A = this chain, B = another copy of it.
Amino acid sequence: MIEEKYKQLVEIALASVEGIKRTGVQVLELRDRYLKTLMPLKGNTNHVGIMYAGSLFTIGELTGGLVHLNSFDISKFFPIVKEINIRFVRPVLTDVTLEFEMPAEEAARIQAEAEAKGKADYALDLEIKDAQDQIAATVHGLWQIRKIPENMANPFQKG
């Protein structure tokens, strides 16, 4: 379930990036600092019928980006992705899911750093799992939150 206060933000995040929307990726659950996403196999297979590497990348990159929405103050900060490493552990023949929870102290620490310095990196280690709960791919990504300049439009700001 997506917590009510996040519903509109999640819709915008998925609908505003064609390359994400096209995959049919779903946000199954999202609440403060926790989320679970799903990439369907259907529509995301490669020439030999297993999940396309790019669709595994998308669920990893999207999940890391969504962490911004439910962990930081989006009225003050925006996220960028700096670097992503993805390791393909086994061929994927099912839908895959990705669960992530950001510890409250970690979110507070990152945000305090961005408050003080104007920006702060956050690194995430994510495990993409198949329907048998086996690790399909691992993602090590580096994102950054930055203070929103006063003259910048914020795509996730309401109203």
**Interface check A52, CB cutoff 8 A:** yes
* Residue numbers in B under 8 Å from A88 (CB-CB): 80-83
With a 10 A CB-CB cut-off, give which of A46, A53, A82, A156 has the most chain B CB atoms: A53
* Residue numbers in B under 8 Å from A47 (CB-CB): 12-13, 16-17, 155-156
The 9 A-B residue pairs whose C-beta atoms are closest, nearest first, are A16-B47, A19-B52, A85-B85, A83-B87, A54-B58, A17-B46, A57-B57, A22-B22, A47-B155
Q: How many A residues have CB within 8 A of the partner chain?
A: 33
Bound-complex Cα distance A57 to B86 (A): 10
**Interface check A104, CB cutoff 8 A:** no
Contact yes or no, B84 A83, CB < 8 A: no
**Interface check A114, CB cutoff 8 A:** no
Identify the closest chain B residue to A59 (Cβ).
B54
Main SS class of interface, A = mixed
Bound-complex Cα distance A88 to B80 (A): 9
Count identical subunits in the complex. Answer: 2
* Residue numbers in B under 8 Å from A22 (CB-CB): 19, 22
Contact yes or no, B45 A53, CB < 8 A: no
* Residue numbers in B under 8 Å from A45 (CB-CB): 17-18
Among A28-64, those with CB < 8 Å from B are: 43-48, 52-55, 57-58, 61
**Interface check A23, CB cutoff 8 A:** yes
**Interface check A120, CB cutoff 8 A:** no
Identify the closest chain B residue to A19 (Cβ).
B52
Bound-complex Cα distance A6 to B16 (A): 36
> Chain B's nearest CB lies how many Å from the CB of A119?
15
